[in-house]
Structure 1
Amino acid sequence: MKCTIIISVYKDVDSLELILESLSNQTFLPNEVLISEDGNSEEMLTYIQEAKKKFKIFEITHSFQEDIGWRKNIALNKAIMSSKYEYLIFIDGDCVPFDDFVENHIKQASKKIVLAGKRVELGEKVTKSIKERKLSVSKLTNKYWFYLPKLIKDKTRHLEDIFHISYNSSLSFFIDKKVNYIIGCNWSCFKEDILTINGFDETYTLPSVGEDVDLGWRFRGLGIELKSCRFNANLVHLYHKKRFDSSQGIINNAILKKNFDANKFFCDNGIIKRGIYNND
């Protein structure tokens, strides 16, 4: 089975470099790395041109659009349609995978199943050390027991999700596979399954809910179950200041409730446009 890993980015080339370094050293290499840019930054374009020369171990493709505000869902739908392979893994451009991240997604993949993982949210000081190349993500995640005091002192959030148990470990049997919702920075599915729900709902024009929580109940409504890949398909979230507030969540939750009450699992404003969203 071949896979495309889709990375949602916005201008942050330093973090993208760390992600591509991690992906180039995976135990199971992705076939395609698709950089889904919600914008059209010259710096990003220049960087990707250089990255294609540096990381020849996999194919790098770039999808972009006009930078006129938060339109992540539109960018992701474009990425889905331009992706070349049957299995899709979604991460954000501020999240760096563990060394066996791709393997743990691929080896647990199944049709009509969405794999949903978590993330460790690093603090400011540890993130700075990583970006200044004083500490590698690989070293941190492979020897996390050694770094626990430093991570605790740096106020790491969701620290429990740095613990790692491979999918093929006998201990993985004891991990709870139930999951309530998708976190948009770490999940995967077959391309045909996300097409079943018509992709991301482009009605959401603010971050916080529309690119992840919305997906989970729509998948389930059409018979596609969520399964946890927590503690095996791990990644770390690099620190940055919060980019959205609670008011945006209120707006998005109103959209979510309206669609939920109407049992609208196949969204009207997704990859296919229906009703008022169809310009034909």
Structure 2
Amino acid sequence: MKIKSPKTTLLITTYNWPEALERTVRSAFDQTVAPDEIVIADDGSTDETRQLIERLGNESQIPIIHVWQEDKGFLRTTILNKGIAKASGEYILQVDGDVILSRHFVSDHLELAEPNYFVCGSRVKLSPEITQKVFANPDFHISLWNMPPSFALNSLRSRLLRRFMSLRYGKKIDHLRGCNMAYWKADIIKINGYNEKLTQWGHEDGEMAYRLHFAGVGKKSLKMGGCVYHLYHKEASRDNEQAHTAEQNRVIKERLRRCDDGIDKYL
């Protein structure tokens, strides 16, 4: 059963990169279908980011909610849970604050929104050169001609192919990107949100996706639409990836639906 136009929250994670965050938020302003609200989940940025969010909020027709926590290291799972808890939308579109949304991002995601499904979207990784041009010129237009050829297909749009591929592409449960995904808030609450025991980089989105799967929530892939353009930056440290992989494997082995340390403390 297809649900028409649920109330949507665009959830953006950020940490101390206001220049990138501004591009993300402004691309949200430029959507063909606007989100109903924007929640910025801020993992301890300095006052420069707060001032930017206030300025953007004064310009915006869309309500912007800033959820901040003290900087105590990489605590993405914690700030995501706090952001989800604050969201008033039934349907949450989650991105990172270092991406630019394609103009049909919201509308393409809503096209696939269906009860008991979460959605994994696609990204285009921009080169350092194109990223520099984006920052140098606010009117710079990202197109097929200035993106890496290996990612060009991710930027194409086709309604027919989008629907055809939604249940046929990327069937592996943890084949997803936390910088472009969507889910129903009620489903996330049901599994107790992100696992806050995962306190470094890696697999926090996949671990949650498996719990959604074991709770009976299916997966769709959004191809041929709804992509994001990922601004270039150095990769995060993967020092604790092994511990996160072990936790995800435990979820798979025990078919766990809920985590112990999750969103419930903020509700």
Q: TM-score, normalised by structure 1?
A: 0.86
Q: Which residue of 2 aligns with 1:115?
A: 119
How far did 1:220 drift?
Answer: 0.8
Per-residue CA deviations over 1:249-279 (Å, capped at 9, x if unaligned) read: 2121122223332222211111136xxxxxx
Distance 2:70 2:161 in 1: 47
Q: Which residue of 1 aligns with 2:96?
A: 92
Show the 5 A alignment for 1:129-168: 129-133=133-137, 136=140, 139-141=141-143, 144=144, 147=145, 150-152=146-148, 158-165=151-158
- CA RMSD for the aligned pairs? 1.7
Per-residue CA deviations over 1:214-233 (Å, capped at 9, x if unaligned) read: 12211110100000112211
> Cα–Cα, structure 1 residues 60 and 176, in superposed 2: closer, same or farther, change >3 Å?
closer
* Of 195, 198, 206, the match for 1:201: 195
Per-residue CA deviations over 1:140-173 (Å, capped at 9, x if unaligned) read: 24xx2xx1xx434xxx6634312222xxx33434
Q: Which residue of 2 aligns with 1:277?
A: none
The runs of 5 or more residues in structure 1 that have no matched partner are 274-280
Secondary structure class of the residue paired with 1:114: strand
* Of 152, 177, 186, the match for 1:192: 186
> Cα–Cα, structure 1 residues 35 and 134, in superposed 2: closer, same or farther, change >3 Å?
closer
Q: What letter is aligned with 2:43?
A: D
Q: What letter is aligned with 2:57?
A: K
How far did 1:201 drift?
Answer: 0.4
Show the 5 A alignment for 1:1-280: 1-55=6-60, 57-133=61-137, 136=140, 139-141=141-143, 144=144, 147=145, 150-152=146-148, 158-165=151-158, 169-175=159-165, 177-178=167-168, 179=170, 180=172, 181=174, 182-210=176-204, 212-245=205-238, 247-272=239-264
Q: What letter is aligned with 1:216?
A: A
Secondary structure class of the residue paired with 2:77: helix
Equivalences, count:
256
Secondary structure class of the residue paired with 2:263: coil
Distance 1:173 1:27 in 2: 19
Do the aligned residues in 2 keep the contact of 1:122 with 1:157 (CA within 8 Å)?
no
**Identity over aligned residues, as a percent?**
27
Per-residue CA deviations over 1:72-109 (Å, capped at 9, x if unaligned) read: 10001011111111111100011111000011112221
The runs of 5 or more residues in structure 2 that have no matched partner are 1-5
Q: What letter is aligned with 2:116?
A: K
Secondary structure class of the residue paired with 2:112: coil
Per-residue CA deviations over 1:197-252 (Å, capped at 9, x if unaligned) read: 11000010001111x1112211110100000112211111000011123x322121
Do the aligned residues in 1 keep the contact of 2:207 with 2:251 (CA within 8 Å)?
no
Secondary structure class of the residue paired with 1:33: strand
